[in-house]
A and B are shown apart, each in its own frame.
Chain A
Amino acid sequence: MQTIKLKNKPYLLAGYSMVGPLEGKGPLKDYFDYILKDDTLKEKTFEKSERKLLQDIIVGAIDKAGLKITDIDFFFGGDLLNQIVSSSYTARELEIPFIGLYSACATMAESLALASIFVDNGLAENVVAGTCTHFSSAERQYRFPLELGNQRPPTAQWTITGGGASVISKTPSNIRVSAVTFGRVVDFGIGDVNNMGAAMAPAACDTIREHIKNMGRTAKDYDLILTGDLGKLGSEILIDLMEHDKIILGKNYSDCGCMIYDKTERVFMGGSGAGCSASVLNSYIFKKLSAGDFKRILLVSTGALMSTTTSQQGDTIPGIAHAVELEFAGANKTNLKVNFSKDTNNVKSKKGGK
């Protein structure tokens, strides 16, 4: 079965998120742990900046969990750059055993899921899962040079600068991971690389349907069903597709790509990128869950598994979506607030640098 129910329900000990200046102006600005003023992070190239960003995020998350780098057994991560260099180079610096993953923008849910399974089965004590993206490095790899004066079609999305990391642990906290679903690769024949939302929506639909069915629940049992980066158009398509499968996504449905940017920012259909669901999960969702505002949420990160070569050769875009179910584990709200403030005290430096 696609869905794996976790017997011991490992805990989400800490979540740390870091975003660029543009994302830092958005509606979630109060939830992010750190907002960059300079998105180059004083590095010479954008690839180096992305690396530094991920490194800061991982260190920040470990710090926030009150752990040392040596306490971490494994680092699950990936990113959008070729050969997932940002994660590999981060792992080189941190010297944590590294399990590199790639499912494009669905990497956050994939790494979170695998990390939870590791902890659930007693294979590890503390595991960190994280990913990030950088607008400028993604742009030069997937699209055009930054200085080229081209227009984007209205269906385009904006790769976010930012990311997040979670520490999954045996140590109790307010959030538990109760089940995960690994998605099928679904391709409905969309070939337009500027319309990723439409390419990924069928995959998200497939994963959500399977997860809900296998868990024996309905969509109403979730306080929030959150897709990764479908954007405005993709979310509308997903709602239609789910309706076709007799599952109604109502007010409890949202999309990270639609949440992260302000309405006044002209980012077309919204944010995208692996860092999109990573940063929203580890900021807004983490804080809402650990405060008990949400009791149960389903994170469905979506990814488009194409490369520039395949799209130039005319292949269509396969989509994938992985789902992670997170539950509030605290007894009651007051109890929780104490725990939560203790959590924040553990943060040694907000910058999270070494």
Chain B
Amino acid sequence: MFNVWDYVISFLVGGFICFLGQILVIRTKITTARILVLFLVIGMVLEVFNVYAPFREFAKAGAAVPIIGFGASLARGAIMATKEYGVIGIFTGGLTATAGGISMAIFASFIFALIFSSKTKRGGH
């Protein structure tokens, strides 16, 4: 079950996706929100063309952890729900599939925002 290869491939593929992102950052001065949206849309496109599933099988967490995986889940959720429940699934499927991640992000942010306060950045990074 614990396969070293899974880690190597996760590291390499995940790293490579970020590498591509960094090229974009250097070349185009793209902001955080734009990178996130761009890679999200890439994930959706991959899913629609049925490329994501084999990619996920191959790259393990290297495909699931980047926001590409999030986009693919949104798309897959909507497509699956549409096939199962019809038109209503178009609207419910996407968020249902990703509810865990979004809820956790909102909940944890809320809790930690109550606990922590922002600190001044140190110069020198």
Is A136 interfacial (CB 8 A cutoff)? yes
Which residue of A147, A194, A267 contacts B118 across the interface (Cβ within 8 Å)?
A147
Which residue of A158, A192, A266 contacts B29 across the interface (Cβ within 8 Å)?
A192
Which residue of A192, A261, A266 contacts B125 across the interface (Cβ within 8 Å)?
A266
Least CB separation from A271: chain B residue: B123
Which B73-125 residues have a C-beta within 8 angstroms of A? 118-125
- B interface residues, tally (CB under 8 Å): 12
Number of CB contacts from chain A to chain B under 8 A: 39
Q: Given A150-B32, A192-B29, A135 and B120 touching (CB < 8 A)?
A: yes
Is B12 interfacial (CB 8 A cutoff)? no
Is A265 interfacial (CB 8 A cutoff)? yes
The answer on a CB contact under 8 Å between A144 and B32 is: yes
For A135, the chain B residues whose CB sits under 8 A away are 120-121
Q: Could you tell me the distance in whole angstroms from the C-beta of A287 to the nearest C-beta in chain B?
A: 25
Which B56-71 residues have a C-beta within 8 angstroms of A? none
Which residue of A22, A136, A151 contacts B123 across the interface (Cβ within 8 Å)?
A22
The answer on a CB contact under 8 Å between B29 and A265 is: no
Chief secondary structure at chain B's binding surface: loop
Is A315 interfacial (CB 8 A cutoff)? no
Q: Given A136-B118, A145-B118, A151 and B25 touching (CB < 8 A)?
A: yes
The number of chain A residues touching the other chain, given as a range, is 20 to 34
Q: Given A145-B118, A146-B118, A151-B25, A265 and B32 touching (CB < 8 A)?
A: no
Is A1 interfacial (CB 8 A cutoff)? no
Q: Could you tell me the distance in whole angstroms from the C-beta of B38 to the nearest C-beta in chain A?
A: 15
Chief secondary structure at chain A's binding surface: loop
How far does the alpha carbon of A185 sit from the alpha carbon of B122 in the complex, in Å? 34
For B120, the chain A residues whose CB sits under 8 A away are 20, 39-40, 46, 135-136, 146, 161
Is A148 interfacial (CB 8 A cutoff)? yes
For B123, the chain A residues whose CB sits under 8 A away are 22, 158, 261, 265-267
Is A139 interfacial (CB 8 A cutoff)? yes
How far does the alpha carbon of A146 sit from the alpha carbon of B123 in the complex, in Å? 12
How far does the alpha carbon of A151 sit from the alpha carbon of B121 in the complex, in Å? 13
Is A153 interfacial (CB 8 A cutoff)? yes
The answer on a CB contact under 8 Å between A266 and B124 is: yes
Interface centre among B25, B122, B123 (most CB of A within 10 A): B123
For A20, the chain B residues whose CB sits under 8 A away are 120
How far does the alpha carbon of A261 sit from the alpha carbon of B123 in the complex, in Å? 10
Q: Given A151-B25, A194-B29, A146 and B121 touching (CB < 8 A)?
A: yes
How far does the alpha carbon of A40 sit from the alpha carbon of B31 in the complex, in Å? 28
How far does the alpha carbon of A46 sit from the alpha carbon of B120 in the complex, in Å? 9
How far does the alpha carbon of A186 sit from the alpha carbon of B122 in the complex, in Å? 33
Q: Could you tell me the distance in whole angstroms from the C-beta of B20 to the nearest C-beta in chain A?
A: 15
A contacts, CB < 8 Å to B? 20, 22, 39-40, 46, 135-136, 139-140, 144-148, 150-151, 153, 158, 161, 192, 194, 261, 264-267
Task: With A46-B120, A146-B119, A151-B25 given, name 10 new contacts (CB 8 A).
Answer: A140-B118, A144-B32, A145-B118, A147-B118, A148-B32, A150-B32, A264-B124, A265-B123, A265-B124, A266-B125
